Amino acid sequence: MMTDDYVWFEGIAFPSTGYSPELLRDVWENFVFKDEDVILLTYPKSGTNWLIETVCLIHTKGDTKWIQSVPIWERSPWVETFSGYDVIKDKEGPRLISSHLPIQLFPKSFFSSKAKVIYLIRNPKDTLVSGYFFWRTATFVKKPESLEQYFEWFMQGNVIYGSWFDHTRGWMSMREKENFLILSYEEMKRDTRSTVEKICQFLGKKLEPEELDSVLKNSSFQAMKENKMSNFSLLRGLHLTENASLLRKGISGDWKNYFTVAQAEAFDKAFQEKLGDLPPELFPWK
Ligand SMILES: Nc1ncnc2c1ncn2[C@@H]1O[C@H](COP(=O)(O)OS(=O)(=O)O)[C@@H](OP(=O)(O)O)[C@H]1O
């Protein structure tokens, strides 16, 4: 892979736009979390924006004004990007903050703070397929020419934010902490209501039944696809091509339509080798 398609920091690739090694170091060493911050943390293409939309709606008790008037990346800015860091660092009061950073590059202040993290994990085979289709429409990452090629990059960790396996192992080490909630895309799909209730409980938010209904309705795949503040259509022609769509299919198990038997077997073997010692309940799609 050509290295000049990315920004590199501590051996991890980042998108070529919006990041720099100096910024990543500054965020890592100097960004100060506040105890009342809520951090939405994922490996790319795990359902991050669905989580952000849901948490925004929980904050407004189902009112849609915020999600319909402010772009999703401004509601929960990305701490590791120039645009996000600038907005967050001087913001007063409780903050919603997004990040895809691996644990070893995450702002050091987090580990002595009470800031809450919601970590959303997704079947990595679906994450891989989602990434493959999305990066083909992005102007800030090297475009994979085929799924075969992207499969190789993903397995080697030669993709933005590094290896899914390393990222997952790193963050899973926090799983016993009480300020750390792990959710999966699959459980969120299977039982969205219970998952949203779990988030409310974790955040100490009490919603009336009709407020919860509004959260569910307005964070659905269809509602997000129609919300121009959330569907990334504002980024077309800027960081994305004109046909780009964040909301592609929004289903679990789509990998079965794309992986060969050999790829599925190679993936399972790598998973077993790299993460097979972790409790299987952490990976509920299996
Ligand atoms: N509301 C809702 N319901 C179900 N699924 C949803 C929803 N919103 C986003 N998505 C799906 O999440 C995938 C995009 O992941 P991310 O938001 O993590 O992308 S990013 O890394 O932040 O760019 C991408 O998955 P794929 O459809 O499999 O590509 C989106 O469709």
Condensed to tens digits (0 to 9), the pLDDT of residues 41-73 reads 999 999 999 999 999 999 999 999 999 999 999
What's residue 235's pLDDT? 87
DSSP, residue by residue, the chain: --GGGSEEETTEEE-SSS--HHHHHHHHHH----TT-EEEEE-TTSSHHHHHHHHHHHHTTT--HHHHHS-HHHHS-BTTSHHHHHHHHT--S--EEEE---GGGS-GGGGGS--EEEEEE--HHHHHHHHHHHHTTBSSSPPPSSHHHHHHHHHHT-SBT--HHHHHHHHHTTTT-TTEEEEEHHHHHHTHHHHHHHHHHHHT----HHHHHHHHHHTSHHHHHH-TTTSSGGGBTTTB-TT--S-S---S-GGGGT--HHHHHHHHHHHHHHHTTS-GGGSTT-
190-199 mean pLDDT: 98
What's residue 245's pLDDT? 87
At 231, give phi and psi (nearest 5°): -95, 5
Nearest to 3 by CA among 235, 11, 272: 11
103-118 mean pLDDT: 97
- CB neighbours (10 Å) of residue 113? 16
127 touches ligand 1 (CB under 6 Å): no
Residue 152 CA to ligand 1 center (angstroms) comes to: 22
What's residue 275's pLDDT? 98
Residue 73 CA to ligand 1 center (angstroms) comes to: 14
The residue contributing the CA closest to ligand 1 atom 25 is 250
Model confidence at 1: pLDDT above 70? no
Mean confidence (pLDDT) of the chain: 95
What's residue 18's pLDDT? 93
Structure tokens at 85: 């860091």
Q: Which of 79-83, 92-96, 248-252, 258-262 has the lowest mean pLDDT?
A: 92-96
Residue 228 CA to ligand 1 center (angstroms) comes to: 15
Quote ipTM for the complex: 0.99
What's residue 2's pLDDT? 41
Q: Which domains does the chain have, with CATH numbers?
A: 7-282 (3.40.50.300)
Nearest to 182 by CA among 84, 85, 91, 282: 282
Nearest to 230 by CA among 16, 38, 47: 47
What's residue 240's pLDDT? 87
Structure tokens at 272: 């077993």
Residue 112 CA to ligand 1 center (angstroms) comes to: 31
Residue 190 CA to ligand 1 center (angstroms) comes to: 15
169-189 mean pLDDT: 97
Q: At what angle do helices 192-203 and 48-59 cross, to 10 degrees?
A: 60
49 touches ligand 1 (CB under 6 Å): yes
What's residue 224's pLDDT? 98
Residue 45 CA to ligand 1 center (angstroms) comes to: 6
Q: Are 129 and 189 in contact (CB under 8 A)?
A: no
250 touches ligand 1 (CB under 6 Å): yes
Q: Are 126 and 255 in contact (CB under 8 A)?
A: yes
20-30 mean pLDDT: 97
The residue contributing the CA closest to ligand 1 atom 23 is 45
| Spatial distance between the Cα atoms of 123 and 98, rounded to a whole number of angstroms | 20
What's residue 79's pLDDT? 98
What's residue 196's pLDDT? 98
76 touches ligand 1 (CB under 6 Å): no
* Rg of the Cα atoms in the chain: 18
Minimum-distance ligand 1 atom for the alpha carbon of 219 = 1
48 touches ligand 1 (CB under 6 Å): yes
What's residue 3's pLDDT? 41
Model confidence at 155: pLDDT above 80? yes
248 touches ligand 1 (CB under 6 Å): yes
Please indicate whether residue 167 is annotated as part of the active site.
Answer: no
Structure tokens at 124: 């990595």
73 touches ligand 1 (CB under 6 Å): no
252 touches ligand 1 (CB under 6 Å): no
Candidate from 130, 189, 199, 258 with most ligand 1 atoms within 8 A of CB, to mutate = 130
At 281, give phi and psi (nearest 5°): -65, -10
Q: Place 89 in a pLDDT band, splitting at 50, 70 and 90.
A: confident
| Spatial distance between the Cα atoms of 181 and 119, rounded to a whole number of angstroms | 6
Chain center to CA of 177: 20
Minimum-distance ligand 1 atom for the alpha carbon of 247 = 31
Model confidence at 197: pLDDT above 70? yes
Model confidence at 140: pLDDT above 90? no
Amino acid residing at 203:
L
